[in-house]
Amino acid sequence: MYCIGIDIGGMSIKAGVVDKDGKIVKKGKVVTDVAAGEHKIINDIGRLVLSLADPNDRDFVGIGIGCPGAINSSTGVVDRAFNLNWHKVALAEELARMINKPIKVSNDANVAALGETMFGVGRMYTDTVFLTIGTGVGGGIVLGGKLYEGNESKGAELGHMVLVVDGEPCSCGRNGCMEAYCSASALIRETKKAMLADKNSAMWKFSPTLDDVDGRTAFECSKAGDRSANAVVDYFVKYLGEGMLNFANIFRPQAIILGGGVCAQGDYLIYKLKDYCKDRNYGFADTPRFDILVAQLGNDAGIIGAAGLIYSMVQVN
């Protein structure tokens, strides 16, 4: 038994043959030809699938797709995907005309959450919250071993929970969202502020100009004991920790899984988050604690999680 998992990105479309243990046994990739429109892209996806699998093979049980944007997973329609210029695109229906197999579509962050829980670092848990920390903050929720997507599959926009009313502007047009405080973009913003306020900070040696600042600057200098860098890291940990505590109070997961470039800080970040959260969990000793884990599937999370959409629907022997 195997599935095809497809990860649609703005630059490329990656696909893989994924076995029932979540292992990718074969891969392929094509360029995302946004300018050519949705029909060309879907045709390219179909040809990519056919290059990896025989549609007449009974062991080939379905196609899972992770796509950016607002997705109605019950219909397989991409209601809106800005970086693809898609609006009301019947992705599953159109692809099914080429390949007669079950097809399931979900938002790419939801798919990554499912992949990490079914086959990655969260595989020992049934209830997880996944946060991906990059330019923005995305995420997904798995409850009882099943992906939670909300009404019309439009839920789990975790990065747009407001942490500070009338706070920092967010890319979504609102103010004070988690994304505005916990993304790599927010970390870089606060690092630059701290550097401008402290011309003697070691951060100036690590990043000689403001254009050199990245998500590592404050963390690496904090490890070396720089006071201004420590303040930036503490600021980041405080807001990320508060967001995680909110999700813990709402969903009471067994684990919160963190992905994205900032998580390359590994134990240094995780220990700080654990220390922040341990005494601030609602109910303290009378509510279950949650584990804080770093995602392990990396760039393959989209492919593996997309296959998980199919495996969660079929009996796996």
Q: What is the layout of strands, in order, in the sheet containing 146-148? A: 146-148, 137-143, 128-133, 255-259, 291-294
Residue 312, token pair as written in the block: 């969660």
Every domain of the chain and the residues it spans: 2-117+299-311, 123-295
Q: 232, 282, 286, 291: which is closest to 262 by C-alpha?
A: 232
pLDDT per residue as tens digits for the range 155-181: 889 999 999 999 999 988 999 999 999
pLDDT in tens, 217-261: 999 999 999 999 999 999 999 999 999 999 999 999 999 999 988
Spatial separation of the C-alpha atoms in residues 223 and 271, rounded to whole Å? 13
**E-strand stretches of 200-260:** 255-259
Strands 77-81 and 137-143: unpaired
DSSP assignment of 61-124: EEEEEEESSEEETTTTEEEEEGGGTEEEEEHHHHHHTT--S-EEEEEHHHHHHHHHHHHSTTTT
Write the DSSP string, 12-27. Answer: EEEEEEEETTS-EEEE
Q: Can you tell me the distance from the alpha carbon of 223 to that of 229, in angstroms, rounded to the nearest whole number?
A: 9
Over 60: is that where the pLDDT of 27 sits? yes
Gap between the Cα atoms of 82 and 72, Å rounded: 15
- Evaluated on CA atoms 201, 202, 205, 211, the torsion sign reads negative
Judge: domain 2-117+299-311, CATH 3.40.1280.10: no
pTM, full prediction = 0.91
CATH topology of domain 123-295: Nucleotidyltransferase; domain 5 (3.30.420)
123-295: same fold as 2-117+299-311? Answer: yes
Question: What was the pLDDT predicted at 82?
Answer: 85
Burial of 169 (0-12, 13-18, 19+ CB in 10 A): exposed
